[in-house]
Structure 1
């Protein structure tokens, strides 16, 4: 009975942990949805558009987590200790499924709104650039500065890429040189060992010949 109570306590605690994870994931997803929906509203359509992939990536991660939490709650709800808790767990699971679908729809609508905002902001920016006046001149200068900075950044990146490639080639060349050196050293050591073996054999042969010569002299 004690073991059963302990197991039930673990199930109840596991369900509570899932609920906490769910609330955190929902909060993360809602934050992403709000950020996506507001993209382009600040009058920086082209700049804010670049943040959409990152925001959508975070939103998709949150959706995957929510889907996983539903799958984990399903079997646990059946193992809760009382009938009332089982019913409550099943009701929670059903509400999660409904909330999940609503969040997916909100994410879709947020992206549609973001696209509309960005298109509008881009059109306004284009009209401003083509227009006259001091504000248009300042905006064009800012864009030229950003373009120059982007070009410089790309140049630096390319330079770093080439430097890295040269370093990799040098490391590979050094590694090949070391490998060749190690191989040569191994061959030399092997040759030295064979030489020592031959020398030892030669000395033993000489000793044997000397012994045989002395024996031959004595026999005479």
Structure 2
């Protein structure tokens, strides 16, 4: 419980610290942008010291710096908008929302001031060009020296502007490459997440496949056992059928023998009766003489 409290308090401190850092970055960028806009507004005006004119930035360079400053301010506003919901109390959140509204108005004011400063710089340049033209068209040694200095300055200015433009193009290319690299990293992170998800799903399917393989091996063993049981049963059934058939065939033979014997006995009895009948029919008839067995027999011989 204490560890959770400490972690939440440390995260709150980090958010507050980041909030204060964002406000400081905003203040620094705002002051620099104001200075660049002021320099654009004063661009083209004459200065009492020629060395100061040599040290001045070109109008294109000043506009680039001002645009970069406004972009930095917009980034700081976006970061503050992200940090606002994470602030620890309602007072901090209300203060941050008020600051966001104020920053939005200041950014709009800076953009308007930048447009006005560019218009003023163009007016200053037109006025300076008019004065230069009048001086160049005039006679005397001063006009000759000024024309030579102007040619030198024009060459240096064109060279500086070309270098500045090249640097700006390089910077834009680097920004594009950084953005492309960021998008590539995001794509890699998404691909990594997809691969991790696919790996977890593969692990789940792998366990399922292992269980399925075990079930298939069990079913194969059961199938082999069922085949053995069926073959054994069929063999036993066939042996029983053969035994019954063989026994049945033996009984039938015995029956045939008994019936044959009975028939043979009956035929012999019929033959004896017939023979006796024939004997009685063929025997001669003898006279029926009554002998007196009680009288003595005389021998006539």
**TM-score with structure 1 setting the length:** 0.62
Alignment pair present for 1:38 and 2:42: yes
Q: Which residue of 1 aligns with 2:132?
A: 125
Shift of 1:41: 0.6
Equivalent in the alignment of 1:4: 8
Q: 1:147 and 1:6, CA in 2 relative to 1: closer, same or farther beyond 3 A?
A: closer
Residues 166-194 of structure 1 show CA distances to partners (whole Å, capped at 9, x for unaligned) of xxxxxxxxxxxxxxxxxxxxxxxxxxxxx
- What's the counterpart of residue 66 of structure 1? 73
Distance 1:49 1:72, change over 3 A: same
Q: CA deviation at 1:127?
A: 1.2
Q: 1:41 to 1:61 in 2, by over 3 A?
A: same
Establish whether residue 52 from structure 1 lines up as the match of residue 56 from structure 2.
no
RMSD (CA atoms): 2.6
Shift of 1:149: 7.0
Provide, for residues 49-93 of structure 1, a one-character-per-residue CA deviation record: whole Å limited to 9, x for no partner. 970111111111111111111111112111110111110011111
Shift of 1:3: 1.4
TM-score under structure 2 length normalisation:
0.46
C-alpha spacing 1:112/1:21, structure 2 compared with 1 (3 Å): same
Where do 5+ consecutive residues of structure 2 fail to align?
Answer: 160-301
* Residues 31, 90 of structure 1: alpha-carbon distance in 2 compared, 3 angstrom cutoff: same
The yes-or-no answer on 1:108 pairing with 2:112 is no
Alpha-carbon distance in structure 2 between the residues aligned to 1:98 and 1:142: 44
Q: Can you list the C-alpha shifts for 1:190-213, whole angstroms capped at 9, x where unaligned?
A: xxxxxxxxxxxxxxxxxxxxxxxx
State which structure, 1 or 2, has the greater radius of gyration over its C-alpha atoms: 2
Does residue 17 (structure 1) correspond to residue 21 (structure 2)? The answer is yes
Distance verdict in 2 for CA 1:132–1:73, change over 3 Å: same
**Local SS of the residue matching 2:43:** coil
* Deviation by residue 1:91-141 (Cα, 9 ceiling, x = unmatched): 111111111111111111111100000011001101110112342233124
CA distance in 2, matches of 1:70, 1:149: 41
Counterpart Cα distance in 2 of 1:88 and 1:4: 21
Partner residue of 1:28?
Answer: 32
Structure 1 runs not aligned, ≥5 long: 154-220
Say whether residues 1:77 and 2:81 are aligned partners.
no
Name the CA distance, whole Å, in 2 between partners of 1:24 and 1:148: 34
2:123 counterpart SS class: helix
Say whether 1:86 aligns with 2:93: yes
User: Which of structure 1's runs of 4+ aligned residues deviate more than 4 A?
Assistant: 46-50, 147-150
